[in-house]
Amino acid sequence: MHSKNKRTTYLVLLLLWISSAGVFAQLNTDRILTIGRNALYFEDYVLSIQYFNQVIEIKPFMAEPYMYRSIAKIQLGDFEGAEVDGSEAIARNPFLPEAYYARGFTRMRLGKFAEAASDFSKAIEFSPVSRHLMLSRIDAYERMEKYDKALQDLEQLMKLDPRNNQLLYDKGRIQLSLKDTVSAEKSFSELIEREKKSHIGWSARALLRHQKGNLKAAYEDYSKAIQLESKHFGDYMNRGVINVREKRFMEALSDYDKAIQLEPKNMLAYLNRGILRADLGDDNNALSDFVQVLKMDSSLMEARYSKALLELKLKNFREAIRDYQLILQKHEFFLPAYWGIAQAYDGLNNVREAFRFRQKAYDLERNKEQIREKMKQDLDAKNKIADNQPTEKVTSKTSVFNRYATQNIDENAYESKYTDTRRGQVQRRFVDVINERNFVISYYSKDDDIRRTTLFHPLIAEYNRRRILPASIKVTAQEIPLTKELIQQHFEHINQVSLLIREDDRNPDLYFYRALEYALVQDFPNAIEDLNRAILLKGDFTLAYFMRANIRFKYTDYRKNANRELRADGTDITVPDNEYKLDVELIMRDYDKVGELQPDFSFSYYNKANILSSQKDFKSAIQLYSRSIEKDKDFAEAYFNRGLTYLFIGEDAKGLADLRKAGELGIYGAYNLLQRFK
């Protein structure tokens, strides 16, 4: 089935070559759509979505940008979002076969096989000779176990593409699903006749003959496939199994070695080789194989028991005892484990423990019938309990996050060919499950032309227009560390503003200016003091309230979470809980004041939501994230954080929907979380 997986990936990429752009009324949307398609072709999926967003905003009646955005989301693993966009495209243009194909592909990935087959059928109406659409519908029929329909489509496809010999492989595979082994073997044999130098037909027929018990013929076919340089793990693995049955042990060992070389993470190959090595008396190498198996799956008791026997044989008595005890934790009446532990304690000259476990073994032996009855009763009781209980949900919401605390091996192994982390299949790049940061006022910010969050606000623009400060200020959640030169520059600014304040100590803007400079050099107490004075002089100074809340939160958070330290006199400098609560209350009052003075300043609601989320007041946090989104429908960070909060309280559907929206709006890390939380 490996070849089929490659096929479906190829099918999606084909869409990039399909020309479906119409004639647009405005040149700018035509150009934006073209740039978006270029970005899509070069696998810059996140960026392409932003271009398609722009076209949709300008011309929401167009179908093409929805279709292309659907394709980009497919590549990012957002299949639910891709399905929605596919439906939007079809609603706007029901004669767009590519849109049906894209939506059908997403529905396949979502397990909606009947709906996918329907989409492929609709697309085939427009393109009745499309090989790729036919293959997709065959795949859907197979998943639905409608093998007769799949075979019918395949035979039609073979008429359209008679030179494609590989279709004989698919035909034989479907015939196997119909339990027609005679026809399947005939199809594989025909494939061998047409493709004498390809191992695929030999591999397929070998497996079929193996399953039918014709070991001699299967062995010959496996050998022929291997002779034709098959890289299929199963050919070596299965021939090894036959070699063991025929007592060709060294050949079997060689086959298992090659299988492991091809699939170094395959547990079954290590287990089979370990058993064979143990039978051949190669105890140390057998032991290393069982250790490898248990690294992959520590619950596999067959490997654990085999390892225990070898540890005992090699006089590694403590390891043997450990293995036997792990077995007893799962199977308390496993008699050989008690005998094994007793023997191991004998080896350690611990007569008392050896006698104790030997006595347990005797007791089990004498009471076998009663134990069997008790086990049966326990099993019945467990089954009754299971029948009466609902499916277990995560009760401790922190476990939602704990299950993704470490990276999957495949995620770790993935290395992008792109230096720009926003390009390619960003859903495969591991990101931490943490909220996006608060928005603050600063001169500096990381450039991010991907996110659609509206960072412009008239309040900021008006303040910059007055040219009070040496540079324009901006609202940002992506602050940057300052260089030594910049830090020195800001210290000089503090000195200069201090001289100005001596001459005019009633000017609130000067205190605001110096507070910003103090904040940039991490002098939070002085920054707060200057903001206090600015607000005292100007009671409706909205930006000062916002900045004071932000700086006070940073300072409080630092003191609360810094490593506990002591002053020289031995007193604790970590902020006490009651003082922390008071500081948080002051922060909240400032954000509320911002909302009162400037109700459309979405960042104050967002920042307040972040604090409430950290205090586990999730319902209030969600309300405030929602309010910030009301003020800015493209507030990417608010969708992202609200999504995480929903997941934390167990409302997974809402959480995943918000993460999808955050990804659509430019937070590429959302696509990685979508894959993990789904």
How much is the average pLDDT of 634-642?
95
Residue 557's pLDDT band (cuts 50, 70, 90):
confident
The CB-side HSE value for 57 (13 A sphere, CA atoms) comes to 12
**Which of 2-11, 143-152, 247-256, 483-492 has the least mean pLDDT?**
2-11
Q: Which of 333, 260, 355, 340 is nearest to 306 (CA)?
A: 340
Residue type, 505: D
pLDDT at residue 675 tops 80:
no
**All structural domains of the chain with their residue ranges:** 1-127, 197-256, 265-392
Q: What is residue 331's predicted lDDT score, i.e. its pLDDT?
A: 85
Q: What percent of the chain has pLDDT over 90?
A: 62
Higher pLDDT, 128 or 25: 128
pLDDT at residue 245 tops 70:
yes
Distance CA 123, CA 105 (A): 12
How much is the average pLDDT of 190-200?
91
Distance CA 323, CA 243 (A): 31
| Structure confidence by residue, pLDDT tens digits, 353-376 | 999 999 988 888 787 777 666 655
β-strand pairing of 440-442 with 474-476: antiparallel
pLDDT at residue 389 tops 60:
no
Given a contact cutoff of 8 angstroms between Cβ atoms, the answer to whether 294 and 304 are in contact is yes
How much is the average pLDDT of 621-627?
97
Give the largest CA-CA distance in the chain.
102
How much is the average pLDDT of 544-555?
94
Q: Which of 142, 86, 81, 148 is nearest to 117 (CA)?
A: 142
Distance CA 550, CA 491 (A): 21
Tell me, rounded to whole angstroms, the distance of Cα 8 from its chain centroid: 20
Q: What is residue 447's predicted lDDT score, i.e. its pLDDT?
A: 73
Q: How many CB atoms lie within 10 A of CB 607?
A: 26
Q: What is residue 376's predicted lDDT score, i.e. its pLDDT?
A: 59
pLDDT at residue 572 tops 70:
no
CATH number of 197-256: 1.25.40.10
Distance CA 473, CA 456 (A): 11
The CB-side HSE value for 175 (13 A sphere, CA atoms) comes to 20
Q: Is the dihedral of CA 410, 108, 127, 71 positive or negative?
A: negative
End-to-end CA distance of the chain: 24
Higher pLDDT, 473 or 45: 473
Given a contact cutoff of 8 angstroms between Cβ atoms, the answer to whether 174 and 151 are in contact is yes
- Do domains 1-127 and 197-256 share one topology? The answer is yes
Q: Which of 666, 668, 665, 640 is nearest to 421 (CA)?
A: 668
**Which of 59-68, 270-279, 564-573 has the least mean pLDDT?**
564-573
Q: Token pair of 86, please?
A: 């596919």
**Which of 1-15, 336-350, 479-493, 582-596 has the least mean pLDDT?**
1-15
How much is the average pLDDT of 143-150?
95
pLDDT at residue 398 tops 70:
no
Q: How confident is the prediction for the chain on average, in pLDDT?
A: 84
Higher pLDDT, 613 or 390: 613
| Structure confidence by residue, pLDDT tens digits, 37-72 | 877 776 778 878 888 998 999 999 999 999 999 999
Residue 388's pLDDT band (cuts 50, 70, 90):
very low
Residue in the block written with tokens 């193996």? 210
Q: Token pair of 344, please?
A: 């191991």
pLDDT at residue 1 tops 60:
no
Higher pLDDT, 521 or 484: 521
Architecture of domain 265-392: Alpha Horseshoe (1.25)
pLDDT at residue 452 tops 80:
no
Q: Token pair of 162, please?
A: 């008679």
Q: Which helix (H) or strand (E) holds 31?
A: helix 27-41
Residues 6+ apart with CB under 8 A from 486: none
Q: What is residue 597's predicted lDDT score, i.e. its pLDDT?
A: 97
Q: What is the 3-state secondary structure (H, E, C) of 431-461?
A: CCCCCCCCCEEECCCCCCCCCCCCCCCHHHH
How much is the average pLDDT of 207-217?
92
Given a contact cutoff of 8 angstroms between Cβ atoms, the answer to whether 423 and 46 are in contact is yes
How much is the average pLDDT of 540-558?
93
Q: Give me the torsion for CA of 653, 48, 15, 147, rounded to 10°.
A: -20
| Structure confidence by residue, pLDDT tens digits, 64-98 | 999 999 999 999 899 999 999 999 999 999 999 99
Q: What percent of the chain has pLDDT over 70?
A: 84
Q: What is the pTM of this model?
A: 0.59
Q: What is residue 25's predicted lDDT score, i.e. its pLDDT?
A: 39
Architecture of domain 1-127: Alpha Horseshoe (1.25)
| Structure confidence by residue, pLDDT tens digits, 258-268 | 999 999 999 99
pLDDT at residue 406 tops 80:
no
How much is the average pLDDT of 383-401?
34
